[in-house]
Structure 1
């Protein structure tokens, strides 16, 4: 089980890599991740 900080860094890193590959998906992905984090 990773700490919240590590999880946040992993999410940000994944967002960054997806943003590089598919910039048009970054906004939708960010919204999904934000909602997921808020629901925890």
Structure 2
């Protein structure tokens, strides 16, 4: 909470492993396979 304060409480900052502009609109993002938490 130090960085994002109360507004960031209960959220996890994640990044996509592959750039969204490379996977296309039809691709369904799998949160376990395609996202990685940022600390």
Q: TM-score, normalised on structure 2?
A: 0.24
**Richer in helix (by share):** 1
**Richer in strand (by share):** 2
Structure with more relative contact order (C-alpha pairs < 8 Å, separation 6 or more):
2
Q: TM-score, normalised on structure 1?
A: 0.24
